[in-house]
């Protein structure tokens, strides 16, 4: 077995993980203006932090600047899938 | 003659050094510790808590006692581990804790049991005692004048990284390289070979040359101190001198082999902290590597076979050796006896004897043995640190009596002693693992477990009685394993002692979490070259030379080198302020953001990014706006120019350009689509000179950059295109001073030409300091200075986004949260000091009646135009307090001030049109 290795940017290829910045939880969909105070507070502050595979925003901030969605195992840090973030 | 002595006549060249002021001689190849031993030094310092004399215990990174301060070539390096630092000529070595501090803690020592501080300094408040305790405690002294340098370090990617260049590590490296892998072999010691260097063993030299021949990269003097995510290792490469911080390397390895060996454990008996008690393996190390015999009459106390080769080696050089083995007689003990060594089996050591240093020991049966050295081997703890840091777990295997990895970690394998494998040195049975033996009832509990943090068996049992029985509570309550050696010799003994005290198995108790770094890494190495001007290079203006030619004093403003004022001293700030109000000034505004936003969804994106609508802006027009975060907090302010259909230019504040672009990119890519809108930061492409004052229009007219200056065709908050030296120029009517203003933007290369032409036309140069006064007079904010992490738009007077319930922008919903409607939110107001002086910036404002802070002064200046002090402040319910008096408080000084509107100068804005 080998180590999970560096992060692989879909635009730049394998790059050191230090070039990437965590960008938050893409599942935290922006509530509509008419949502409750609690819904908005949840969007701002409440995160699952689940054990296992998590969908996460990452941005290749020290590289191409592109926003990416990674499926990362929060236990092993293995990134199972990474692709460009879309609107 | 008793105690350590150098017996090898030949050796490396002489190196003079001093210890505690005494001149001594060492040899090339010595560590500080081996040189001290060679000079007969037993006591190298005092213990942390009880100030007991302590000697050298080990010969490696596990050393708890021999921590020293070293001064060399005027650089003072605190907390150097004497057992791993090579000796250098001219070193001034001094104990970290000397005799001086001994008395007070000696008097206190009966009271210093576990939890002493927690229990004793509760009343009235720990913070009252903390400064004195911190001075008394603590290791080493930092000399702020001494700066370690450090190398650049770097990143390295390999197929295989082997940690530890003993025989197992060398073999693993060779196998990898032969299989075609790129291999890095990292070794802490200055030479490869691991314990073979003193334990002997065939073929290390051959293995090393083979490794080199097959292309293995060998780094000596390098410690893999941490295992991080994705198979990354942190490696610290030592510098060539103690005064050099070395360099930090991040090694990305697809596979890691740990051949990190094992660390010998001390034995537990009364007064086992006496100088002259050493690890058995260390005495062999000092003998074979440095020619130092640590005692002429050594007592080798052991519970396993690994100490027998040590006893034989010591006897071989003429020492009078006694072996005290806690086990029954064996083939090995018989073989040693046959070689003339006195061997006592089933013999348990009870107490060390001696004043200040070992003179013998007493066995459990009362028998006394004379000796000047107690060489102990209480078993071996595999160095599983990196495996554990990478997600593994070390557990005690009761059957094998050794610490083992609980499960495999992907990408990491173990080789050699760390994997529980140690080849026998001969044909006899070889039992090198053993369980810790904890003294039972009826004997003194003054048995040291953690030497560096002075944790005794009694402390562990006290923790057990007070119900701090989990391994993590034990650590925190007694500080076991929390010293700079991280309990390398202590943690397992502490766990075993707690297990015994609570009637549990060591296996069930577990061990505390292993965390990086394995050894202390100098901060200088972590910083590398990233310090001073290299860490944050100053950004500079295209027209810097022109400013210097005008006598500008340049200061660092958030990483930007900008003119603070022009002229000899700060007195010229007043003149610059008056010139802006009476004539015309020009300041270099080139660092203001110029971020182009274009495409079919450009207006939509800007509407989303700003708390005010921007898409309705007509070409040629400018609008001011605030940006917020999703919590509704103001993050920046700036103006937006509409350059044409679907084409805008955002002029954010100088220090917020990066933040604005990052945030805009995030929303563009995740919400609007990469194809619908493009963001292009043009800040550095354009230089901007800002002309301002009642005579600005006349100066503009003389320059001829734009055709019309008619106020109906070219009103405030509009821009027109013109030409300067045949190149495109953009002139915008905006104002940060409150006077009529023209911002002239030209390609950056023309900055050096535009500036003098403005000066020649009669504009007075104006620096950032004067601008700061002029804008404060107008109540114009600097976001981040006049706002804080709670400021929302309506706190600054921009009520519309909240009151009109505008939706569809970042932070929109947060403005409708209950917190946004609190009556006592801090609001931006002005202050006028009673008597007209200047209130210190940062002063707190105190409410009459219940004395509490209701806000603070964010900006404060003497206003040359108004002839009095002006200030901006964030005050709870501030706008409702306008006209009221408040007390200001700053560093013990107080005074009175009247709350005013934020804008102190030209409140109706008529000056814009003069």
Q: Domain range holding A80?
A: 7-84
Nearest to A85 among B254, B662, B670 (CB): B670
Cross-chain residue pair A16–B155, CB shorter than 8 Å: yes
What is the homologous superfamily of the domain B147-263+381-424+523-536 according to CATH? FAD/NAD(P)-binding domain (3.50.50.60)
Structure tokens at B84: 């791993």
What is the pLDDT at residue B129? Answer: 67
Q: Return the minimum-mean-pLDDT range out of B31-35, B115-119, B536-540.
A: B115-119
What proportion of chain A, given as a percentage, has pLDDT over 90? 63
pLDDT in tens, B708-753: 899 999 999 999 999 999 999 999 999 999 999 999 999 999 999 9
What is the pLDDT at residue B136? Answer: 62
Residues B660, A24: Cα–Cα separation, whole Å: 17
Hey, which bits of B173-279 come out as E strands? 183-186, 217-219, 222-228, 232-237, 247-258, 262-264, 277-279
3-state SS assignment for residue B416: helix
Name the segment(s) of chain B with CATH classification 1.10.10.1100: 436-504
Is the pLDDT at B471 greater than 80? The verdict is yes
What is the pLDDT at residue B46? Answer: 87
CA distance B673 to chain A (A): 5
Is the pLDDT at B432 greater than 70? The verdict is yes
Helix (H) or strand (E) holding A67: strand A67-73
In total, the C-beta contacts within 8 angstroms joining chain A to chain B are 85
Test mutation, B176, B249, B669, B814, chain A, max A CBs within 10 A: B669
Residues of A with Cβ-Cβ distance to B412 under 8 angstroms:
3
CA distance B228 to chain A (A): 10
* Cβ(A80)–Cβ(A71) below 8 Å: yes
Angle between helices B167-178 and B204-213 (to 10 degrees): 30
Closest chain A residue to B390 measured between Cα atoms?
A: A76
CA distance A2 to chain B (A): 4
Cross-chain residue pair B250–A77, CB shorter than 8 Å: no
* Total number of residues shown for chain B: 914
CA distance B632 to chain A (A): 11
What is the pLDDT at residue B111? Answer: 58
What is the pLDDT at residue B130? Answer: 67
Residue of higher predicted confidence among B629 and A2: B629
Name the segment(s) of chain B with CATH classification 3.30.1360.120: 545-591+685-766
Residue of higher predicted confidence among B3 and B721: B721
Residues B261, B422: Cα–Cα separation, whole Å: 9
Helix (H) or strand (E) holding B450: strand B448-450
Q: Return the minimum-mean-pLDDT range out of B486-495, B806-815, B847-856, B886-895.
A: B847-856
Residue A46 belongs to some domain of the structure: yes
Residues of A with Cβ-Cβ distance to B670 under 8 angstroms:
26, 57, 67, 85-87
Pairing of strands B277-279, B217-219: unpaired
Residues B226, B516: Cα–Cα separation, whole Å: 5
Short-list B542, B610, B638, CA closest to B811: B610
Test mutation, A1, A2, A3, A65, chain B, max B CBs within 10 A: A3
Contact A41/B at CB under 8 A: yes
Q: Which CATH architecture has domain B266-378?
A: 3-Layer(bba) Sandwich (3.50)
Residue A2 belongs to some domain of the structure: no
Contact B630/A at CB under 8 A: yes
Nearest to A3 among B230, B669, B818 (CB): B230
Cross-chain residue pair B411–A2, CB shorter than 8 Å: yes
CA distance A55 to chain B (A): 14
Please enumerate in sequence order all residues whose Cβ is within 8 A of that of B759, keeping only pairs 6 or more positions apart, or say none.
Answer: B550, B586, B765
CATH code, residues B436-504: 1.10.10.1100
Q: Please, how many CA atoms are within 13 Å of residue B612, restricted to the half-sphere of its CB? A: 18
Dihedral sign from CA coordinates of B80, B82, B85, B88 = positive
* Cβ(B579)–Cβ(B764) below 8 Å: yes
Q: Return the minimum-mean-pLDDT range out of B290-304, B433-447, B553-567.
A: B433-447
Structure tokens at B724: 């300067």
Quick one: pLDDT band at residue B148, thresholds 50, 70, 90?
confident
Mean pLDDT of B682-700: 97
Cross-chain residue pair A16–B250, CB shorter than 8 Å: yes
Residues B157, A7: Cα–Cα separation, whole Å: 13
Which contacts qualify for B563-572: CB closer than 8 Å, 24 or more apart?
B563/B587, B563/B588, B563/B765, B563/B767, B563/B768, B564/B767, B564/B768, B564/B769, B565/B767, B565/B768, B565/B769, B565/B770, B566/B765, B566/B766, B566/B767, B570/B769
Residues B647, B649: Cα–Cα separation, whole Å: 7
Q: How many domains does one find in chain A? A: 1
Contact A26/B at CB under 8 A: yes
Tell me the average pLDDT of chain B.
93
Contact A65/B at CB under 8 A: yes
Residues B410, A82: Cα–Cα separation, whole Å: 21
Residue A58 belongs to some domain of the structure: yes
Name the segment(s) of chain B with CATH classification 3.50.50.60: 147-263+381-424+523-536, 266-378
Residues of B with Cβ-Cβ distance to A87 under 8 angstroms:
669-674, 676
- Rg, chain B, Cα only: 37
CA distance A54 to chain B (A): 16
**Which A positions 6-25 lie with beta carbon below 8 A of chain B?**
6-7, 16-18, 23
Residue of higher predicted confidence among B133 and B434: B434
CATH code, residues B595-681: 3.30.70.1400
CA distance B672 to chain A (A): 5
Is the pLDDT at B134 greater than 80? The verdict is no
What is the pLDDT at residue B133? Answer: 64
* Cβ(B673)–Cβ(A67) below 8 Å: no
**Which B positions 804-843 lie with beta carbon below 8 A of chain A?**
805, 807-808, 812-814, 816-818
Mean pLDDT of B107-117: 62
CA distance B859 to chain A (A): 31
3-state SS assignment for residue B704: coil
Quick one: pLDDT band at residue B149, thresholds 50, 70, 90?
confident
pLDDT in tens, B419-428: 999 989 999 9
Quick one: pLDDT band at residue B1, thresholds 50, 70, 90?
very low
Is the pLDDT at B109 greater than 80? The verdict is no
Q: Please, how many CA atoms are within 13 Å of residue A77, restricted to the half-sphere of its CB? A: 18
What is the pLDDT at residue B611? Answer: 96
Structure tokens at B65: 């006692």
Residues of A with Cβ-Cβ distance to B673 under 8 angstroms:
86-87
**Which B positions 214-233 lie with beta carbon below 8 A of chain A?**
229-232
Contact A66/B at CB under 8 A: yes
Nearest to A3 among B231, B631, B673 (CB): B231
Residues of A with Cβ-Cβ distance to B410 under 8 angstroms:
1-4, 76
Place of tokens 């400013």: B547
Cross-chain residue pair B230–A7, CB shorter than 8 Å: yes
Task: List the CATH number of the domain containing A31.
Answer: 3.30.2270.10
Please enumerate in sequence order all residues whose Cβ is within 8 A of that of B422, keeping only pairs 6 or more positions apart, or say none.
Answer: B262, B306, B416, B430, B432
Residues of A with Cβ-Cβ distance to B672 under 8 angstroms:
87
Is the pLDDT at B795 greater than 50? The verdict is yes
Cross-chain residue pair B662–A31, CB shorter than 8 Å: no
Helix (H) or strand (E) holding B680: strand B678-681
CATH code, residues B5-107: 3.10.20.440
Closest chain A residue to B812 measured between Cα atoms?
A: A33
CATH code, residues B791-800+811-913: 2.40.30.110
Residues of B with Cβ-Cβ distance to A16 under 8 angstroms:
155, 250, 252
pLDDT in tens, B352-369: 999 999 999 999 999 999
Contact A31/B at CB under 8 A: yes
Nearest to A37 among B672, B807, B818 (CB): B818
CA distance B213 to chain A (A): 25
CATH code, residues B545-591+685-766: 3.30.1360.120
Contact B671/A at CB under 8 A: yes
What proportion of chain B, given as a percentage, has pLDDT over 90? 83
Residues B149, B77: Cα–Cα separation, whole Å: 11
């Amino acid at each position: 077995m080998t180590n999970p290795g560096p992060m692989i940017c879909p635009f730049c290829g394998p790059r050191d993980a230090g070039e990437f910045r965590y960008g938050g939880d893409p599942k935290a969909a922006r509530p509509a203006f008419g949502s409750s105070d609690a819904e908005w507070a949840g969007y701002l502050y409440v995160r699952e932090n689940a054990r296992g595979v998590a969908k996460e925003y990452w941005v290749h901030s020290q590289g191409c600047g592109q926003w990416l969605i990674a499926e990362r195992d929060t236990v092993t840090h293995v990134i199972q899938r990474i692709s460009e973030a879309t609107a | 003659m008793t105690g350590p002595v150098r017996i090898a006549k030949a050796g490396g060249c002489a190196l003079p050094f001093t210890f505690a002021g005494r001149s001594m001689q060492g040899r090339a190849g010595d560590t500080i510790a081996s040189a001290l031993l060679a000079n007969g030094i037993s006591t190298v310092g005092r213990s942390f808590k009880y100030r007991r004399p302590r000697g050298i215990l080990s010969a490696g990174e596990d050393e708890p006692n021999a921590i020293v301060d070293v001064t060399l070539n005027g650089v003072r390096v605190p907390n150097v581990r004497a057992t791993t630092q090579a000796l250098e000529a001219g070193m001034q070595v001094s104990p970290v804790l000397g005799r001086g501090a001994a008395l007070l803690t000696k008097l206190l020592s009966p009271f210093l049991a576990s939890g002493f501080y927690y229990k004793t300094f509760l009343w009235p408040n720990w913070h009252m005692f903390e400064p004195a305790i911190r001075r008394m405690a603590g290791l080493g002294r930092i000399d702020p004048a001494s700066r370690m340098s450090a190398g650049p370090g770097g990143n390295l990617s390999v197929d295989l990284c082997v940690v530890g260049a003993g025989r197992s590590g060398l073999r693993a490296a060779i196998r990898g390289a032969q299989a075609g892998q790129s291999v890095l072999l990292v070794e802490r010691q200055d030479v490869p070979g691991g314990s073979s260097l003193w334990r002997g063993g065939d073929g290390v030299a051959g293995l090393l040359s083979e490794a080199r021949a097959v292309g293995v990269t060998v780094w000596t003097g390098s410690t893999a101190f941490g295992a991080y995510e994705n198979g990354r290792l942190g490696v610290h490469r030592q510098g060539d001198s103690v005064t050099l911080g070395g360099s930090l390397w991040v090694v990305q390895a697809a596979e890691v082999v740990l051949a990190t060996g094992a660390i010998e454990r001390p034995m537990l008996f009364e007064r086992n902290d006496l100088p002259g008690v050493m690890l058995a393996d260390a005495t062999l190390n000092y003998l074979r590597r440095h020619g130092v015999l640590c005692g002429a009459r050594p007592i080798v106390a052991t519970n396993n076979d690994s100490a027998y080769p040590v006893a034989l080696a010591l006897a071989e050089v003429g020492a009078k050796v006694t072996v005290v083995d806690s086990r029954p007689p064996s083939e090995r003990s018989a073989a040693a006896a046959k070689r003339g060594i006195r061997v006592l089996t089933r013999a348990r050591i009870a107490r060390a004897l001696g004043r200040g240093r070992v003179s013998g020991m007493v066995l459990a049966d009362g028998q006394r043995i004379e000796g000047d050295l107690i060489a102990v081997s209480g078993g071996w703890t595999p160095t599983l640190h990196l495996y554990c840091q990478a997600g593994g777990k070390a557990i005690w295997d009761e059957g094998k009596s050794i610490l083992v990895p609980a499960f495999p970690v992907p990408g990491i394998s173990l080789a050699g002693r760390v994997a529980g494998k140690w080849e026998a040195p001969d044909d006899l049975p070889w039992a090198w693992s053993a369980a810790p033996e904890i003294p039972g009832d009826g004997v003194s509990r003054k048995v040291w477990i953690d030497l560096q943090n002075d944790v005794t068996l009694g402390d562990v049992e006290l923790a057990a009685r007070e119900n701090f029985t989990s391994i993590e509570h034990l650590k925190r309550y007694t500080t076991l394993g929390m010293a700079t050696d991280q309990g390398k010799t202590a943690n397992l003994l502490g766990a075993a002692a707690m297990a015994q005290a609570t009637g549990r198995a060591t296996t069930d108790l577990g061990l505390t979490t292993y965390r990086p770094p394995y050894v202390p890494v100098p901060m200088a190495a972590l910083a590398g070259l990233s310090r001073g001007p290299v860490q944050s290079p100053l950004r500079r203006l295209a027209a810097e030379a022109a400013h210097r030619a005008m006598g500008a004093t340049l200061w660092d403003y958030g990483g930007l080198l900008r003119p603070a004022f022009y002229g000899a001293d700060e007195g010229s700030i007043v003149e610059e302020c008056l010139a802006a109000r009476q004539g015309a000034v020009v300041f270099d505004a080139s660092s203001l953001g110029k971020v182009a936003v274009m495409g079919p969804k450009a207006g939509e994106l800007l509407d989303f990014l700003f708390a005010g609508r921007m898409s309705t802006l007509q070409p040629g027009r400018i609008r001011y706006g605030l940006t917020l975060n999703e919590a509704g907090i103001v993050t920046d302010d700036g103006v937006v120019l509409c350059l044409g259909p679907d084409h805008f230019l955002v002029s954010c504040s100088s220090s917020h350009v990066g933040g604005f672009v990052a945030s805009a990119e995030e929303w563009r890519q995740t919400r609007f689509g990469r194809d619908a809108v493009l963001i292009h930061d043009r800040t550095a492409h354009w230089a901007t000179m800002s002309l301002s004052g009642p005579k600005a229009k006349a100066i503009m007219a003389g320059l001829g950059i734009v055709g019309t200056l008619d106020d109906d065709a070219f009103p405030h908050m509009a821009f027109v295109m013109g030409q300067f030296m045949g190149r495109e120029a953009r002139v915008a009517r905006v104002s940060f001073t409150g006077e009529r203003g023209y911002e002239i933007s030209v390609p950056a290369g023309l900055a050096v030409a535009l500036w003098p032409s403005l000066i020649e036309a009669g504009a007075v140069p104006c620096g950032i300091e004067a601008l700061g006064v002029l804008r404060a007079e107008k109540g114009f904010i600097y976001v981040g200075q006049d706002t804080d992490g709670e400021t929302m738009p309506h706190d600054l007077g921009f009520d519309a986004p909240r009151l009109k319930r505008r939706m569809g922008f970042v932070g929109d919903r947060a403005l409708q949260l209950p917190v946004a409607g609190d009556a006592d939110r801090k609001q931006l107001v002005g202050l006028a000091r009673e008597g007209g002086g200047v209130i210190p910036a940062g002063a707190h404002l105190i409410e009459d009646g219940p004395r509490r802070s209701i806000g603070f002064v964010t900006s404060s200046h003497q206003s040359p135009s108004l002839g009095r002090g002006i200030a901006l402040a964030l005050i709870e319910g501030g706008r409702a307090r306008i006209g009221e008096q408040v007390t200001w408080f700053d560093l013990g000084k107080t005074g009175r001030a009247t709350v005013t509107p934020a804008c102190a100068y030209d409140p109706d804005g008529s000056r814009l049109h003069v």
